[in-house]
A and B are shown apart, each in its own frame.
Chain A
Amino acid sequence: MTLWILFALMTGLAALSILVPLRRGGDPLTAASANRAADEAVYMAQLDEIDRDLQRGLVDAAQADAARTEIARRLLAAHRQNKGETRTVGTRAAKFVQLLASLLLPAAALGLYLWLGSPHQPDQPLEARLQSDPQGQPVDVLVARVERHLAANPQDGQGWEVLAPVYMSLGRPQDAAQAYANAIRLNGASEPRESSYGEALVVAAEGLVTAEARAAFDRAVKLDPAAPKPRFFLALALGQEGKREEAIAAWRSLLEGADPRAIWVPAAEQELAQLEGRLPASLQPPRGPAAADVEAAAALSEGDRNDMIRSMVDGLKTRLETEGGSAEDWLRLIRAQAVMGDKDAARASAAGAREALQDDAAALDALNRAEADNGLGS
């Protein structure tokens, strides 16, 4: 409400700046006589200056006379030019302008503002946002509040503990790892903290179980040998290191005692199947995203997810270009690029595939079909 009152006050001020002078009688001079008076003032002042110049001896008498004649001529000219006839003040024009100021001005300003402005959006100064009731606040405000609190009280382990999973779900695994590390330092090690720390590191490394992450999972298993999460990642690590037999053993032992409804079970089974070679190569996600990545992807925003997919596609492309691959792989790449809307890249990949697979008639056939399906006909 206050907002609209303020708007009304401003509009009123603007309208009055036109309406009040229109009602004033004002200067009775016509423009011509006012012009003449103003010109005269200037030329009289100039005449005066010449007298002073003469007194100071800066000009001689002859020069002063010549200058005076010139100014006198200007004075006369000003008289002549400003002899214009007196006009009566037009009331019609004033009426029109009155209408303009009292109707058009408010209407146009309001209309334009409603089109451009956001009258219902309140101010959001940062301090007030951080102080206000946490209920119903968007998550990044809450995060900033906790961050501020922790910047002031960096020894508050509980705070880090709360913040870490939030970072994870916001797609900030690096920050999450840091927060878990702080929580471990301040609250002591525990299985969930260590494995979450390790998981954050894995996500930050785009699915790779780094040495640091491995150490964390090792510590976690020591703290709770039955916990599935660290064992899942340790098995994944073995697979990544190329220790196939050990990895298969690890997956099997993990799956043995597992509740088949657990969320990680399908991912584990797939990993196992892949290691055992039970899946055709084309269906294997070669160096594909680890289960943790997929989980992370689900938590990501739309844009971040697209980035992630894009980076996977790029990875596949690089691999195919440098190491080559099966017909299926090439087709997957082309389809993915076409779906992402990058037709040029898809065409380029098709050309690459044609070259790589030139001896495989069936593959070329499939390639032609894929091109037609995806509207890549050249």
Chain B
Amino acid sequence: MIVETGHFALVLAFVLALIQSVVPVWGAVTDDRRLMQTAAPVANVLFVLVTLSFAALTWAYLASDFSVVNVWENSHSAKPLIFKISGVWGNHEGSMLLWVLILVMFGSLVALFSGNVPAQLRAAVLGVQGWITAAFLLFVLATSNPFERIVNAPIEGNDLNPLLQDIGLAIHPPLLYLGYVGFSITFSFAVAALILGRIDAAWARWVRPWALLAWVFLTLGISMGSYWAYYELGWGGWWFWDPVENASFMPWLAGTALLHSAIVMEKREALKVWTVLLAIFTFSLSLLGTFLVRSGVLTSVHAFAVDPERGLFILVILCIFIGGSFTLYAWRAPLLKQGGLFAPISREGALVLNNLFLTAATVSVLVGTLYPLALEAVTGEKISVGAPFFNLTFGPLMIPLLLAVPFGPLLAWKRGDLLAATQRLYAAFGLALVAALAVFWLWGMKQVLAPIGVGLAVWIMAGSIAELVTRTRIGEVGLSRGLSRLVGLPRSAFGTTLGHFGIGVTLLGIVMSSAFQTELVRTVRPGDTFDVADYQLSFSGLAPRQGPNFTEQVGHFTVRQGGTEVGVLDPSKRLYQARGMPTTEAAILTFGFSQLYVSLGETRADGAADIRAYYKPMITLIWLGTLVMSIGGIISITDRRLRVGAPKPARAKIAGLSPAE
């Protein structure tokens, strides 16, 4: 009964979404307020229905109801509770249901938290959201129905792919989808505005919190996925330029550009045409990512099923939405009026530069991701585009952008003073130079690029703080007044600083861990002691261990530094019984920001084992940096200026230049 209730809720949601996609838009166009009024309640009920449906599927997983095909294919009665839950979205059907759940959740959030947006725009936005919902619900029901039943239920399931039985999987896809799908709101805002023909500075103000929210989730989702790959795949790599990674990285790049251009639009009503285009472009990339991952066009752990019917279906959705929105754009955008003017050297100019480089970088990733597919389709030749391609294209495009980051917030609107900004950055530049020289002095010519990279990272970090210092004018007004000015700054100013600072932190982690890592591949026998960087590891042997649904061979290493024991490492090789599939579980010890990483390879009868050991200096900074960026984003969202309601008392709207991230 529970399962069928979930199924019916999903069907009902589809029919309701069809109505949602017609009625409010119709009301918005004909100015019929009664029709517009339906938008918000229907969005909320849609959310309730899909939640019911998702809960029913989750129940089926928890109760191991193998009469549901999806549960039988992807679960096992002996699976630990947490993986029974995360297994719901650890497969194609369930993950598409999660996708739709998040989509309608965002619709409901718009219905609940955008009282400041005029009713007409809001109705149109929810209507467009209804189109997307209806399309994806149709996809789920027609090709990926998680509620299909088996008449004679088997007694045991096939279990979840062991690679996916990890806490990382529990968190990574929901976060990533929150980001991907979050950009559907900015898309809906753009399309709604094009339909209604009203795009102005106020629009940008209403859109920005949604873009920020999606961006924060996407940042966290990508970061989480990268950390998951790092410790679960056992190769010590954290980014592979794998097409699936690129699929999530492209909307991130475009979304970052969107955040920045929306600032210009809000402040100066310039770049209107461009910002709307970016909003459409960003969600198109999200859809493209969904297509690449879900269609099985790419083969990887993410392509749960290779089913051409599904691929074709998503491709059709992709073409309708992308093609339709760009057609609408081409038709309506020329009607938009020119916005404010600005000099090339100005805040606007800097943000345009940011957009240029981010867009170019997005395009380079897009080409690198799609070119192999296109080439194979045309000539049948198979190629792979890997890290060297992206290092050569993405890398050079990022360097000027990163160099320019500290300048941007220091330039004034309309016409900036580059010289004055440069003067304020002397200290940051000095620090960066010192850091670069220190690295050079410590390691010499061994790593030519390392000093440059470290210098760049320090430049961004120090530069973003310089901006805050400039605003408080600590130099002029003294420490105590400066601090009180700091407290009084708008939250978005801290958001900008943290966002930019986080980039520097991540960059520092990337440079340090890749330039100065120690890697060791060798065979060890019980009793062996060996060095990894400054640490002495002793191997005391392998022992078998029994897990809930797997057996494992665990290697035991004692880690010493200068004679004192500082920890133990227990990497293992697991065998998951239901699928007879082995996995490698790396063991990691964290010292400060650095990590010692050991993974187990082939083990032999005499107790010897092949191992791979790394010392990765400052590697955790890569993920800590993304955390700092996300915190910056969250602080920006809480800036009350973004929550300006309908006629509100004009209290405490504190001065500020611009919020970024």
Interface residues of A (CB under 8 A from B): 2-3, 6-7, 10-11, 13-14, 17-18, 20-22, 24, 26-27, 29-32, 34-35, 37-46, 48-49, 52-59, 63, 66-67, 70, 74, 77-78, 81, 84, 87, 89-90, 93-94, 97, 100-101, 104-105, 108-109, 112-113, 116-119, 121-129, 138, 140-141, 143-144
Whether B64 contacts A140 by the Cβ 8 Å rule is no
| Among candidates B41, B152, B471, B645, residue contacting A58 with C-beta atoms closer than 8 Å | B471
Whether A34 contacts B8 by the Cβ 8 Å rule is no
Nearest CB in chain A: distance from B565 CB, A: 41
Assuming the A-B contacts A31-B31, A97-B38, A105-B19, are A7 and B5 also in contact, with contact meaning beta carbons closer than 8 angstroms in the complex?
yes
Whether B645 contacts A108 by the Cβ 8 Å rule is no
Residue B117 interfacial (CB < 8 Å)? yes
Q: Which residues in chain B, 612-657, are within 8 Å of chain A measured between CB atoms?
A: 641, 644-648, 650, 653-657
Taking CB as reference atom, which chain A residue is nearest B485? A56
Whether A34 contacts B656 by the Cβ 8 Å rule is no
Which A residues lie within 8 Å of B330 (CB)? none
Which A residues lie within 8 Å of B657 (CB)? 53, 58
One digit per residue, 1 when the CB lies within 8 angstroms of any chain A CB and 0 when it does not, for chain B 26-47 equals: 1110111111111011101100
| Among candidates A14, A48, A140, residue contacting B45 with C-beta atoms closer than 8 Å | A14
One digit per residue, 1 when the CB lies within 8 angstroms of any chain A CB and 0 when it does not, for chain B 184-202 equals: 0000000000000010111
Q: Which residues in chain B, 250-268, are within 8 Å of chain A measured between CB atoms?
A: 268
One digit per residue, 1 when the CB lies within 8 angstroms of any chain A CB and 0 when it does not, for chain B 1-35 equals: 11111011101101110110001001110111111
Nearest CB in chain A: distance from B496 CB, A: 14
Q: List 30 A-B contacts (CB under 8 A).
A: A3-B1, A17-B45, A21-B37, A21-B38, A21-B40, A24-B34, A27-B33, A29-B119, A30-B33, A35-B118, A35-B198, A42-B205, A53-B656, A54-B655, A57-B473, A59-B412, A66-B414, A70-B269, A70-B340, A78-B200, A78-B202, A93-B30, A97-B23, A105-B12, A105-B19, A113-B12, A117-B4, A123-B3, A128-B63, A144-B155
Which B residues lie within 8 Å of A32 (CB)? 31
Taking CB as reference atom, which chain B residue is nearest A47? B650
Whether A17 contacts B38 by the Cβ 8 Å rule is yes
Whether A37 contacts B12 by the Cβ 8 Å rule is no
Which A residues lie within 8 Å of B655 (CB)? 49, 52-56, 58
Taking CB as reference atom, which chain B residue is nearest A90? B32
| Among candidates A14, A27, A42, A101, residue contacting B644 with C-beta atoms closer than 8 Å | A42
Assuming the A-B contacts A37-B646, A42-B202, A117-B4, are A109 and B15 also in contact, with contact meaning beta carbons closer than 8 angstroms in the complex?
yes
Whether A138 contacts B41 by the Cβ 8 Å rule is no
One digit per residue, 1 when the CB lies within 8 angstroms of any chain A CB and 0 when it does not, for chain B 143-165 equals: 00101010111111000000000
Whether B11 contacts A44 by the Cβ 8 Å rule is no
Please, how many residues of chain B have a CB less than 8 angstroms from a CB on the other chain? 87
Nearest CB in chain A: distance from B14 CB, A: 7
Taking CB as reference atom, which chain A residue is nearest B652? A52
Assuming the A-B contacts A17-B44, A126-B63, are A117 and B8 also in contact, with contact meaning beta carbons closer than 8 angstroms in the complex?
yes
CA distance A87 to B117 in the complex (A): 20
Which B residues lie within 8 Å of A122 (CB)? 1
Whether B485 contacts A116 by the Cβ 8 Å rule is no
Which B residues lie within 8 Å of A43 (CB)? 201-202
Whether B641 contacts A18 by the Cβ 8 Å rule is no
Contacts beyond the supplied A30-B33, A49-B655, A109-B14: 15 A-B pairs with Cβ under 8 Å: A6-B1, A10-B5, A21-B38, A42-B201, A45-B653, A49-B654, A57-B473, A67-B413, A93-B27, A94-B32, A97-B23, A100-B23, A105-B19, A109-B11, A144-B156
Taking CB as reference atom, which chain A residue is nearest B60? A123
Whether B648 contacts A41 by the Cβ 8 Å rule is yes
Residue B538 interfacial (CB < 8 Å)? no
Whether B12 contacts A10 by the Cβ 8 Å rule is yes
Residue B67 interfacial (CB < 8 Å)? yes
Taking CB as reference atom, which chain A residue is nearest B62? A125
In the A-B complex, the 6 residue pairs with the smallest Cβ-Cβ separation, listed nearest first, are A125-B63, A52-B655, A21-B37, A126-B64, A53-B655, A17-B45
Whether A18 contacts B42 by the Cβ 8 Å rule is yes
Whether A31 contacts B118 by the Cβ 8 Å rule is yes
CA distance A84 to B52 in the complex (A): 42
Interface residues of B (CB under 8 A from A): 1-5, 7-9, 11-12, 14-16, 18-19, 23, 26-28, 30-38, 40-42, 44-45, 48-49, 52, 60, 63-67, 77, 116-121, 141, 145, 147, 149, 151-156, 198, 200-202, 205-206, 268-269, 340, 412-414, 471, 473, 485, 488, 641, 644-648, 650, 653-657
Whether B11 contacts A26 by the Cβ 8 Å rule is no
| Among candidates A57, A89, A125, residue contacting B33 with C-beta atoms closer than 8 Å | A89
Which B residues lie within 8 Å of A13 (CB)? 45, 48
Assuming the A-B contacts A10-B49, A49-B653, A117-B11, are A123 and B119 also in contact, with contact meaning beta carbons closer than 8 angstroms in the complex?
no
CA distance A39 to B193 in the complex (A): 14
Which B residues lie within 8 Å of A17 (CB)? 16, 38, 41-42, 44-45
Whether B145 contacts A14 by the Cβ 8 Å rule is no
Taking CB as reference atom, which chain A residue is nearest B657? A58
Nearest CB in chain B: distance from A152 CB, A: 14
Which A residues lie within 8 Å of B340 (CB)? 70
Whether A89 contacts B34 by the Cβ 8 Å rule is yes
Which A residues lie within 8 Å of B7 (CB)? 113, 116-117
Whether A26 contacts B38 by the Cβ 8 Å rule is no
Whether B19 contacts A52 by the Cβ 8 Å rule is no
